[in-house]
Structure 1
Amino acid sequence: MVQSSTFEVEFWGVRGSVSTPGESTVRYGGNTSCVEVRAGDTRIIFDGGTGLRLLGQKLLELDAVEAHIFFSHSHWDHIQGFPFFRPAFLPKNCFHVYGGVAPNGSTMKDRLSDQMLHPNFPVPMQIMKADLQFHNLDPGETVAIGDQGVTVETALLNHPNTALGYRVNWRGKSVVYATDTEHYPDHIDENLIRLCRNADILIYDACYTDEEYHDPKSPKIGWGHSTWQEALKLVDAAGVKQVLMFHHDPEHDDDCLDQIEAAVRERHPHSRMAREGLVLALKPEEACV
């Protein structure tokens, strides 16, 4: 069988905090965090927000699915789609699920299971018949996936109760997923600089603008999120080629995001706001024969 040479990123949910359906969010979408990376024959999913339900509907068209799901953390907007991920209920499928251990010692398996217990949900996680294989991750760990040379690096992010950022490497190209992280006031996070070094695509938490972050009446300092202005500082420091602003604040409607995107592109023409349905393709180097 001929192996695929595709290296693509597809956005299934780009919102943060809470889903925002409605007429004012049609262009960018209202589902919460979920990003799919297809590297050759390897399928990687970052986070299981409400966008995971949409991805699941698409995957039902396949005969059988094997995928690797990496959770940044377990705040609701990153796990709420998991109980509605229909491929996980089918015994023909296999999902490798990765995540860090919370400060209280709970694993990602514990937290995904807890959200499906009474009185929060009608059926437990055990009703899912797919082969679910859970893996605990330590910050700084690198995971090798499959037999095509795909690796996923990890890094600790600055977020309440911790979160992990990820970098997919394949055939000389790289995609970084670094959402739910707050910048530091006096320096750029060294963990992020290492994770993002010379990345082709960076998906970054730009929930706020600088003005909102520092708003004297309602500051967002300490909430665990960053701004698009700080994203561009990281881009310059790490040599990133393209940044996708991600984890849009629920108060930011389509018109607001259009204005932010115009400002972003003026400073960095190859960058933009993430939106549902957007597909980005990279051209990986040819494999050695």
Structure 2
Amino acid sequence: MTEFAVRFWGVRGSIAVPGADTVRYGGNTPCVEMQAGGQRLIFDGGTGLRVLGKTLVATKNIQAHLFFSHSHWDHIQGFPFFTPAYIAGNCFHIYGPVTYNGYSIKQSLSNQMVDPNFPVPLQIMQADLHFHDLQAGEKITLGEVTVETGSLNHPNYALGFRVTWRGKTVVYASDTEHYPDRLDRSLVHLARDADILIYDANYTEEEYHHPVTPRQGWGHSTWQAGVQVAGAAQVKQLVLFHHDASHDDPFLDQIEAQVQQILPNSVLAREGMVLQLS
């Protein structure tokens, strides 16, 4: 394999919003797949994970690594509908942070699959599941691929991921809030010299600072802050992600036009979009 491919299966934040107003950017919640060096890495398990699973059902003996940034519902709600996890012979290594109240990623995934939330428990899954608790600063080596972790500014703790293969790097930083008076140096370090930075731009600055319903402290950022982080980290391409449920296609078109006036090669993430690094 001579390419590093990034595919977006879900790009929406908070809640899935399918419908006529979200056709072009998509309505599924977060799920990003990366393939490099013979490894399949999946980041977050929102409703986009169900769609990814449908494409993998016919594949036998799947080996993949599933990284959860955190266990808020929009990032785990696709896991119970991930069909390959129910098929014997498949193998998934599942990684995620422990919550502040002590729940492991296995506990968080299990808790949403118990009565009255779901009809069958996690234990009914027939694939070989290996769970790994992660902390910021850890590095995972998967053949030629390395995955570094860094802390994000989000309620109840979240992780960002830096994936590197043969000198090419993609950083996944969903669900993080910028600081009002300074750059997040931890995030700038995680994103240093990255080829692609996938960044949470849930709000506009106008929404974030709204006089009646401000969004400060909600754990999400703006495209303007993403531009600042990308510049400080010398990122080659900024990809804005985790679109707000209320932002329809025309609204997102406007945001993309604005950011491209500053960083011409920046894009807003769309379901089905594939970025390739040679």
| Secondary structure of the corresponding residue to residue 204 of structure 1 | strand
The corresponding residue for 1:188 is 183
What is the rounded CA distance, in whole Å, between the counterparts of 2:2 and 2:97 in structure 1?
30
| Secondary structure of the corresponding residue to residue 109 of structure 1 | helix
The corresponding residue for 1:53 is 50
What is the rounded CA distance, in whole Å, between the counterparts of 2:174 and 2:107 in structure 1?
22
Between the two proteins, the alignment pairs up a number of residues equal to: 278
Which of 221, 227, 246 is the matching residue for 1:226?
221
What is the rounded CA distance, in whole Å, between the counterparts of 1:138 and 1:72 in structure 2?
11
The corresponding residue for 2:161 is 166
Name the aligned partner's letter for residue 172 of structure 1: G
What is the rounded CA distance, in whole Å, between the counterparts of 2:104 and 2:264 in structure 1?
40
Name the aligned partner's letter for residue 105 of structure 1: G
Q: CA RMSD in A?
A: 0.6
Q: Tell me how far 1:234 sits from its aligned partner.
A: 0.3
Consecutive aligned runs of 4 or more in structure 1 exceeding 4 Å deviation: none
The corresponding residue for 1:258 is 253
Q: Tell me how far 1:40 sits from its aligned partner.
A: 2.3
Q: Tell me how far 1:6 sits from its aligned partner.
A: 2.3
Q: Tell me how far 1:62 sits from its aligned partner.
A: 1.4
The corresponding residue for 2:137 is 140
Where in structure 2 are the equivalents of 1:1-289 lying within 5 Å? Answer: 4-145=1-142, 147=143, 149-283=144-278
User: Structure 1 unaligned runs (5+)?
Assistant: 284-289
Q: Tell me how far 1:63 sits from its aligned partner.
A: 2.0
| Secondary structure of the corresponding residue to residue 222 of structure 1 | coil
Q: Work out the percentage of aligned pairs sharing the same amino acid.
A: 63
Deviations 1:122-142 (A, max 9, x none): 000000000000001111111
TM-score of the two chains, using structure 2 as the length reference: 0.99
What is the rounded CA distance, in whole Å, between the counterparts of 1:127 and 1:6 in structure 2?
36
Deviations 1:102-123 (A, max 9, x none): 1111100000000000010000
Name the aligned partner's letter for residue 256 of structure 1: F
What is the rounded CA distance, in whole Å, between the counterparts of 2:219 and 2:124 in structure 1?
34
Q: Tell me how far 1:217 sits from its aligned partner.
A: 1.1
| Secondary structure of the corresponding residue to residue 58 of structure 1 | helix
Name the aligned partner's letter for residue 180 of structure 1: D
Name the aligned partner's letter for residue 241 of structure 1: K
| Secondary structure of the corresponding residue to residue 164 of structure 2 | strand
What is the rounded CA distance, in whole Å, between the counterparts of 1:65 and 1:175 in structure 2?
23
What is the rounded CA distance, in whole Å, between the counterparts of 1:61 and 1:10 in structure 2?
19
Deviations 1:231-287 (A, max 9, x none): 00001100000011000000000000000000011110010100000000001xxxx
| Secondary structure of the corresponding residue to residue 203 of structure 1 | strand
Deviations 1:209-244 (A, max 9, x none): 111100101100000000000000001100000011
